[in-house]
A and B are shown apart, each in its own frame.
Chain A
C-alpha cells in the first residue's frame, strides 16, 4: 500500500519518537495540569498547522482563512456542549428556560432551527467533519475550477475569515457574539472542567494528533502527495499529464479544512469555550506562521513549530507583553527571508548531517541503511 520502503524515514522517525516522548511522557510528568492544559490548547493549533503543510507546503495553496474551519469545528462542538449545559433545570431562572443563556439575554424565546440538531452527539461529530469539508469544497470548487490561486485565493480566504467573524459578533443572539459560547460544563454528563477530565482530554487530543500525523503522512506518501508537489512546480504539466488540477487542489484544501476543524473541536473540549477571536484574520494568519516556523514541508515540523511559537508567546507575554508583537513580527520576516524551510530545514541542513556522520563513523555496516532511506522499493 505504501510505496516507499518505510512509512517514516529515519529523520521522521526521530521526530516521531521524540514527539511521542515529549507529549506522552515528559510533558504530562513535568507540568502541572494548568500548564498541561495550555499545551493542549497549543496542540489544537497543530492540527491546523498539519493541514497547512498539505495544503500550503505541498499544494502551494496558501489559505489565510483556516480560522474559519477551526471555528466551524469549535463552534459545532461548543453548540452541543452548550445545549447540554442549558438543560431546563440549569436555566430555570431565565425567562425562557432550556435555551442557552446568551439567547435569553438577547430576547430569543426559542432555540433557532440550526441549533436543534446539535442536541445529538453523533450529529455534532458529523458536523465537525462535514461542515468544513462542505464549506471548503464550495470555496475550493468556485476558486480552483476558475484557476484562481496564489495571492487572490489568500486574500479571498482572508475576506471570508473577516466575514464570518463579523457575522458571529453581529448575531449575538444566535452565536453568543464577541464573548463566544462560554460556560460549557459536561459531555454526556461527564464534567469536562475537572482536573481529571483535563488529563483525559489531553491524552485524547494527543491520540487524535498522532492520528492526524499518520493520515497526513499517508497522503504525502501516496501518488497524490507527489502530484501536489508536481502541481506546485508545474501546474500545466500536471494538467497535460491528464489530471484535473482543480480537483487535487480542492482535495488538499478540504483535507486542511477538516484537520483544522478537528483542532477546533479539540480546542472547545480542552479549553472549555469557543469565541470569534479564534476565527478571524489575525488567528488565521498566525496559524500560518506556526507552519512556516516548523517548516512548511514537514508534518512534524508543524507540530514542533506550533508548540515553540506558542510557548514563546505565553512566556513573552507573561513577562514582556510589549515585546511579543515585535517578536512575532520579526518571526514572520525571518522565516520568509532567512529560514524558508523553518525548523525542519535547520534540522536537515545542520543537525541531521552531524548525526549521520556520528553514526557513519561508528560503523560502516550500518551505513547502508542510511542511503536507502526514502528510496522507492524495487
Chain B
C-alpha cells in the first residue's frame, strides 16, 4: 500500500496524518482521563460520559453565540470562558448524577453500566428536545483560523495546535490534582481502603461526589475541544464512548500514564491507517487490533502484578 508514494511523500503523509491523529488524541485523552478517573478510581462504568462531553460542546456553542450577539469585541476570547462554563456545567451535572444515581450502585459495576446507559439515552433525548436534532457548529475566532506552513508539504492547522496545548495543560493539572494535592491523596486513600479512609476522618461521600464531578467536568472540557474538530449533535457523544473505553482498558485501568500512551497509540494508528484505507476499514483494523491485544493481555498495557 506504500508502493505508489515516494519516500518524501510518505514522510509528509505521516507527519500530516500524525498531526491529524494528535487532535483525535486530544479528544480521546480528555475523554479517557475523565473515564479513567471515574472507572479506575471509583470502579464505575460511566456510559453517559459521551453525553457529558456533548453537554460541554453545547455550552461552548451557546457561549460563542452569546459573545457574538452581545459582546462581539470580546469574541476572540470566548473560548476560555466557554471552557470554564463547560467544566462547571458538566461537573455540576456529574455531581447531581452521582448523588441521584451512582452512589446507590457502588460495587455493582455492571449495574452502573446499564443505569448510565439509560442516563445517556435520557440526556440524548433532552439535547434533542432542547437544541434540536440538527448538528450545530461553532464559529472559530480569526486567530484560530488558518494553518501554519511548517514545510512545503506540511500544513498544521492552528486550532489543532491550540487543542493540543490545552490537552497537555489539562493533563498536567489532572496529574497535579490526583498525585500532588491533598485532595488527590484523599481520593486515592478512599480507593485503596474506603472503610479506613472513613475512619481517619475523610468524608468519603464527598470525595466520591467531587471525583465523579471532576471526571465529568473534564469531559465537558473535552466537549469544548470537540467543537473545533467536529459538529455537535445529540448523539455525537455515543460515537466516542466505546473507543474511549477501549483507550482506558487498553492503557490499564488504574494507570493514568497508560491512558496517555494508549490514547496516543490508538489515535495515531487510526489516523495513519485512514490515509491508506477507507475510514471504516482503518477503524475496524484499529479496534480489532486492540481487542485481539486485550484478549492476549487482558490487564492492559500498563498494569502491575499484585496479589488479589
Q: Do chains A and B touch in the complex (CB under 8 A)?
A: yes
- Residues on A facing B (Cβ under 8 Å): 62, 64, 139, 142-143, 146-148, 150-152, 154-156, 158-160, 162-163, 166-167, 169-170, 281-282, 285, 288-289, 292, 322, 325-326, 328-333, 335-337, 340
Taking the closest CB of chain A, its distance from the CB of B277, in whole angstroms, is: 9
Q: Does B245 contact A155, Cβ atoms closer than 8 Å?
A: yes
Map CB proximity to A onto B72-112 as digits: 1 under 8 Å, 0 otherwise. Answer: 00000000000000000000000000000100110001110
Q: Does A163 contact B288, Cβ atoms closer than 8 Å?
A: yes
* Bound Cα distance A162, B245 (Å): 12
Q: Does B120 contact A (CB under 8 A)?
A: yes
Q: Does A166 contact B280, Cβ atoms closer than 8 Å?
A: yes
* Bound Cα distance A146, B295 (Å): 8
Taking the closest CB of chain A, its distance from the CB of B279, in whole angstroms, is: 8
- Residues on B facing A (Cβ under 8 Å): 45, 101, 104-105, 109-111, 113-115, 117-126, 128-129, 238, 242, 245-246, 249, 278, 280-281, 283-284, 287-288, 290-291, 294-296, 298
Q: Name the CB-closest residue of A to B111.
A: A336
Taking the closest CB of chain A, its distance from the CB of B288, in whole angstroms, is: 6
* Bound Cα distance A336, B111 (Å): 6
Q: Does A156 contact B291, Cβ atoms closer than 8 Å?
A: yes
Q: Does B119 contact A333, Cβ atoms closer than 8 Å?
A: yes
Q: Does B121 contact A325, Cβ atoms closer than 8 Å?
A: yes
* Bound Cα distance A170, B249 (Å): 26
Q: Does A325 contact B122, Cβ atoms closer than 8 Å?
A: yes
Q: Does B298 contact A146, Cβ atoms closer than 8 Å?
A: yes
Q: Does A332 contact B295, Cβ atoms closer than 8 Å?
A: no
Dominant secondary structure of chain A at its interface with chain B: helix
* Bound Cα distance A357, B109 (Å): 38
Q: A146-B298, A329-B121, A336-B105 are in contact. Are A151 and B284 (CB under 8 A)?
A: no
* Bound Cα distance A51, B238 (Å): 26
Residues of A within 8 A of B128 (CB): 322, 325
Q: A166-B280, A170-B280 are in contact. Are A337 and B101 (CB under 8 A)?
A: yes
Residues of B within 8 A of A333 (CB): 101, 115, 118-119
* Bound Cα distance A158, B245 (Å): 10
Taking the closest CB of chain A, its distance from the CB of B40, in whole angstroms, is: 12
Q: Does A170 contact B119, Cβ atoms closer than 8 Å?
A: no
Taking the closest CB of chain B, its distance from the CB of A235, in whole angstroms, is: 12
Taking the closest CB of chain A, its distance from the CB of B112, in whole angstroms, is: 8
Chain A to chain B: the 8 pairs with minimum beta-carbon distance, closest first: A332-B118, A170-B280, A329-B122, A329-B121, A325-B125, A142-B295, A148-B298, A329-B118
Residues of A within 8 A of B290 (CB): 159
Residues of A within 8 A of B110 (CB): 62, 150-151, 154
